[in-house]
């Protein structure tokens, strides 16, 4: 990480000497080609794509598995369901929504788990992610298996990152919406030009996997990010997600054990380059960053199967995002007034 940070910093200090014909943002993206797992980067400012680059033959228009970045999309669908009156709110009890999938002898704490607890990864249930993931998806019923996990904390306690929690939200959406989560996403986000889900895994009961195995193109992920950056409105002015839900989603509710960043409802929160950043994060480096103060949205996708697509790559992408922020902020700064006068 340190080597990359120094490299980017030095390059930004001497852009004319290294890439004289390129804009500063294009130069940063060109230098990022040294990050082997990186496949695409797209940078948009105030709704306009100012730079887009594919690496090693990849294109910003080709679908890719966005992994857990899809958790932010599930969060948006929950917010829309609340606005439509299909859910009463984040305090609604999960046990009342999924009564047929509860264990035979449930822990009394299961009755206290709310939709909000699932969104913020504070259900208290043992996670299905990490070393437990393979066993969970090998089960006959992912919903029942997630609800049947033992409690290792109380509902509302520490963050326990679990794709099972987001899958429960997908099951809830399917039930209250009367159709699959994929169909709901297509219906509710249809007015958003460029948004499309190219593929999505289902469990044995036909529930789309909440929070993983969703294929989208980087440009489509950018369209989703731009919706949030614009306060839930499409470029044509149609309100798809309420500003209140976006504010709730971007409010810190717990702390990630992975990197001590904040976490809201399906979104991570961090300060990068002096700016408040909200971001969706998928395994291996599938990233959607939003910087409201700069009207900036950035998508990065990576090869999640590459040996180097681990923690070091995640940190390298954070450093790359810091370099992009520096350039965008400098470009947006007003030019200094010329000396002199009458």
Q: Do 166 and 276 fall within a single domain?
A: no
> Are residues 146 and 165 in contact, defined by beta-carbon separation less than 8 angstroms?
yes
Q: Do 130 and 241 fall within a single domain?
A: no
Q: Which of 294, 272, 320, 296 is nearest to 28 (CA)?
A: 320
Note the pLDDT tens digit of each residue in 261-280: 999 999 999 999 999 999 99
Look at residues 213, 228, 261 and tell me which one is the last residue of a structural domain. Answer: 213
**Is residue 36 in some structural domain?**
yes
**Is residue 336 in some structural domain?**
no
Does the pLDDT value for residue 335 go beyond 70?
A: no
Number of domains forming the structure of the chain: 2
Does the pLDDT value for residue 19 go beyond 60?
A: no
Q: 10 Å Cβ neighbour count for 197? A: 21
Q: Which residues have C-beta within 8 Å of that of residue 182, sequence separation ≥ 6?
A: 197, 200, 208
Q: Do 207 and 222 fall within a single domain?
A: no
Q: What is the mean pLDDT of the chain?
A: 92
214-216 β-sheet, strand order: 64-65, 214-216, 199-200
Q: Do 159 and 237 fall within a single domain?
A: no
- The mean pLDDT value for 212-234 works out to 98
Look at residues 156, 188, 213 and tell me which one is the last residue of a structural domain. Answer: 213
Query: What's the sign of the alpha-carbon dihedral 22, 28, 30, 31?
Result: positive
**Is residue 50 in some structural domain?**
yes
Which range marks the domain in which residue 26 is found?
1-62+217-331
Residue 302: in which H helix or E strand, if any? strand 296-302
- What is the reported pLDDT for 4? 40
Q: Do 197 and 87 fall within a single domain?
A: yes
Note the pLDDT tens digit of each residue in 83-110: 999 999 999 999 999 999 999 999 999 9
Distance of CA 278 to the CA centre of its chain: 9
Q: Do 176 and 95 fall within a single domain?
A: yes
**Is residue 306 in some structural domain?**
yes
**Is residue 339 in some structural domain?**
no
**Is residue 80 in some structural domain?**
yes
Mapping DSSP to helix (H, G, I), strand (E, B) and coil, where does residue 206 land? Answer: coil
Bridge partners of residue 281, in order along the sequence? 287
Describe the crossing of helices 311-332 and 24-31 by its angle, rounded to 10 degrees: 170
Q: Do 140 and 238 fall within a single domain?
A: no
296-302 β-sheet, strand order: 48-54, 38-45, 296-302, 286-291, 275-282, 268-272, 262-263, 254-255
- The mean pLDDT value for 53-77 works out to 97
Note the pLDDT tens digit of each residue in 282-291: 999 999 999 9
Q: 10 Å Cβ neighbour count for 87? A: 20
Q: Residue 96 burial by CB count (10 A; 0-12/13-18/19+): exposed, middle or buried?
A: exposed
Domain of residue 192, CATH code: 3.40.710.10
**Is residue 342 in some structural domain?**
no
Look at residues 163, 195, 213 and tell me which one is the last residue of a structural domain. Answer: 213
Q: Which of 154, 163, 159, 177 is nearest to 134 (CA)?
A: 163
Q: Do 7 and 46 fall within a single domain?
A: yes
Q: Do 223 and 319 fall within a single domain?
A: yes
Bridge partners of residue 269, in order along the sequence? 262, 278
Q: Do 106 and 237 fall within a single domain?
A: no
CA angle 22, 24, 29 (to 5 degrees): 85
Q: Do 225 and 176 fall within a single domain?
A: no
Q: Do 153 and 50 fall within a single domain?
A: no
**Is residue 43 in some structural domain?**
yes
**Dist. CA 149–CA 128, nearest whole Å:** 8
Residue 5 pLDDT class (50, 70, 90 cuts):
very low
What are the tokens at 258?
A: 């992975």
């Amino acid at each position: 990480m340190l080597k990359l940070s120094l490299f980017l910093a030095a390059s930004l200090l001497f852009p004319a000497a290294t890439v004289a014909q390129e804009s500063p943002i294009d130069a940063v993206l060109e230098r990022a080609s040294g990050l082997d797992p990186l496949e695409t980067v797209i940078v948009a400012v105030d709704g306009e794509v100012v730079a887009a680059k594919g690496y090693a033959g990849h294109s910003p228009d080709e679908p890719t598995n966005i992994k857990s970045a899809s958790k932010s999309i599930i969060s948006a669908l929950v917010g829309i369901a609340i606005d439509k009156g299909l859910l009463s709110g984040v305090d609604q009890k999960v046990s009342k929504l999924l009564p047929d999938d509860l264990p035979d002898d449930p822990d009394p704490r299961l009755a206290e788990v709310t939709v909000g607890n699932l969104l913020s990864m504070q259900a208290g249930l043992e996670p299905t992610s990490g070393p437990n993931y393979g066993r969970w998806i090998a089960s006959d019923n992912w919903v029942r298996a997630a609800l049947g996990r033992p409690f290792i904390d109380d509902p509302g306690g520490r963050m326990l990152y679990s794709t099972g929690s987001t899958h429960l939200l997908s099951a809830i959406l399917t039930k209250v919406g009367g159709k699959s989560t994929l169909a709901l996403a297509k219906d509710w986000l249809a007015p958003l030009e460029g948004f499309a889900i190219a593929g999505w895994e289902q469990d044995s009961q036909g529930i789309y996997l909440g929070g993983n195995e969703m294929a989208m193109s980087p440009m489509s992920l950018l369209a989703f990010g731009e919706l949030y950056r614009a306060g839930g409105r499409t470029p044509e002015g149609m309100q798809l997600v309420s500003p209140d839900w976006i504010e709730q989603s971007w409010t810190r509710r717990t702390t990630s054990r992975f990197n001590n960043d904040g976490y809201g409802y399906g979104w991570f929160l961090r300060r990068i380059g002096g700016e408040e950043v909200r971001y969706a994060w998928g395994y291996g480096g599938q990233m959607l960053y939003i910087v409201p103060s700069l009207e900036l949205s950035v998508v990065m996708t990576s090869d999640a199967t590459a040996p180097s697509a681990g923690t070091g790559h995640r940190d390298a992408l954070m450093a790359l995002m810091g370099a992009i922020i520096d350039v965008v902020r400098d470009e947006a700064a007003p030019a200094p007034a010329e000396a002199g006068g009458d």
